[in-house]
Structure 1
């Protein structure tokens, strides 16, 4: 089939997204485009069972078969969770993604469902910009064998099960000395992930273009334990606590596996990147203000209000 090739990744649990798939597919077909659709759950790797064998899909094999280098761009219909799973599928083949919000927060989305047709038409005319976001490659090694891996846009989290109780995690960043951190868990986040779980755990907000990652302790048992921002050119190796049978690795909230005391977790910048389609020049501070209330002006109480 000839013509321009466009993909659609959608959240198949939302009726609004399902209706939008039909509407946008018809629009693209009218413009002579070949349309390929797939639900977002293809990018959810799932969680390995503690007692069962570890099964995983290698990073380069998560992309659906028909989503290839000939695809001009992909439309993502859903909330931030769908955007994260779509990024895992699209980044290995370098497909830009236009994220259309059918969820709630929509921090990573570019526009809303009511403006979807206008947005797609604008992209088809070539009137858009691209913003590139760095990603993590997370690998679990048992001896020297990779037993699990994932491509990550937001963060990787390692914690004890159940999610209470202190552990001693050891990490090595690049050529630097080993560090012991006593905490409930650790978060390793990208600049994109700095506004997600890492923010809730007390980490700093990092603008997307800064070439760093951060490691944030979760409920650290020390007044001296603080988050650390480090160069994304250095890999981080995490050694799980030896006094617990298992800890859990979770990536972007939709995939993960159990880690044995003798395993190690290798986290490094990926050669793959997420390519976000922007309809206007991106304004990160405006997004922080709109979505998270950052930098809102302080408004004093009117003088006419009598306080008790």
Structure 2
């Protein structure tokens, strides 16, 4: 019996009801179906009085989800997709992402097209697009006190108010550099259209094997976005006292103390997206962010008064 999964945003009634209906439909068609809320992939925050909050990356996978699962349907918005990727990437399960949110930049289809999409997936009429993920770790000495998979970006900044931070950052074996800024972003190509875009970083096509470092509001004309090979690891040493806060994919993270080190590298796991048609990144940029839309035609001549 083939096996499928459903991951849904249980905060949204429409996603919940569709998940239950889809489970019944797949079960009736002879599939073994496992269902879970995306909450399990939402990263928790460690607290100042209890900074160690270490759940191993592989420890988030829900019961029943494993490498034998042919696909999982993800019902929600971009946040749900980010959470789902952490749940299933260690098992290599392809995700059919269905938008029940707002922008849905990471989603493949919409609810009104779900019946046709499911038929297409059940008959293996699709392609798989792999997206780079990051492994993010906070180390105290040689002890890992927090870790997570990251599809979009890692952000390190000060709280509760935005103010100048100092970071010593080493990319690969290169000499460390000092950056003074409100914060720093380490982004994957997928995350280049998220926070790093708003902070002035470039858009990077998903198939390019690079990462990028983007300072947030740097206090220097020399500190600008840096794109580097994803074969290079990154070590960040915070200089600020008493602490900084790190956020991964916008929904979880931990406090980083002056004696800690943030370590990032390209993960051995990838987010696997089901594509019902050939991937068209520029079309998504145009539809979701307005990139490359034609300008209003200018008049060929101007009449002077």
1:21 is paired with a residue of what secondary structure?
A: helix
Higher mean displacement: 12-21 or 206-215: 12-21
**Shift of residue 24, structure 1, vs aligned partner:** 1.0
Give the equivalent residue in structure 2 for 1:176: 174
**Shift of residue 95, structure 1, vs aligned partner:** 0.4
Higher mean displacement: 65-74 or 230-239: 65-74
Aligned positions of 1:90-101 closer than 5 A: 90-101=88-99
Aligned positions of 1:99-110 closer than 5 A: 99-110=97-108
Q: For the residues of structure 2 that align with 1:13 and 1:87, how far apart are their CA atoms?
A: 18
Give the equivalent residue in structure 1 for 2:56: 58
Higher mean displacement: 137-146 or 18-27: 18-27
CA spacing shift, 1:70–1:173, aligned 2, 3 Å = same
Q: For the residues of structure 1 that align with 2:158 and 2:16, how far apart are their CA atoms?
A: 38
* Residue 5 (structure 2) aligned to one of 4, 7, 15: 7
Q: For the residues of structure 2 that align with 1:253 and 1:71, how far apart are their CA atoms?
A: 28
Aligned positions of 1:281-296 closer than 5 A: 281-296=278-293
Q: For the residues of structure 1 that align with 2:280 and 2:25, how far apart are their CA atoms?
A: 29
1:47 is paired with a residue of what secondary structure?
A: coil
Give the equivalent residue in structure 2 for 1:21: 19
Residue 225 of structure 2 corresponds to residue 227 of structure 1: yes
Residue 261 of structure 2 corresponds to residue 260 of structure 1: no
Q: For the residues of structure 2 that align with 1:163 and 1:257, how far apart are their CA atoms?
A: 17
Q: What TM-score does the superposition give when structure 2 sets the normalisation length?
A: 0.97
**Shift of residue 30, structure 1, vs aligned partner:** 2.1
Give the equivalent residue in structure 1 for 2:208: 210
Q: For the residues of structure 1 that align with 2:18 and 2:104, how far apart are their CA atoms?
A: 17
Contact 1:24 1:117 in 2 (8 A): no
Count how many residue pairs are aligned between Structure 1 and Structure 2.
305
Q: For the residues of structure 2 that align with 1:40 and 1:249, how far apart are their CA atoms?
A: 21
Q: Note the aligned Cα RMSD (angstroms).
A: 1.8
CA spacing shift, 1:53–1:238, aligned 2, 3 Å = closer
* Residue 241 (structure 2) aligned to one of 236, 244, 259: 244
Higher mean displacement: 161-170 or 257-266: 161-170
Q: What TM-score does the superposition give when structure 1 sets the normalisation length?
A: 0.96
Contact 1:215 1:228 in 2 (8 A): yes
CA spacing shift, 1:53–1:165, aligned 2, 3 Å = closer
Aligned positions of 1:20-59 closer than 5 A: 20-59=18-57
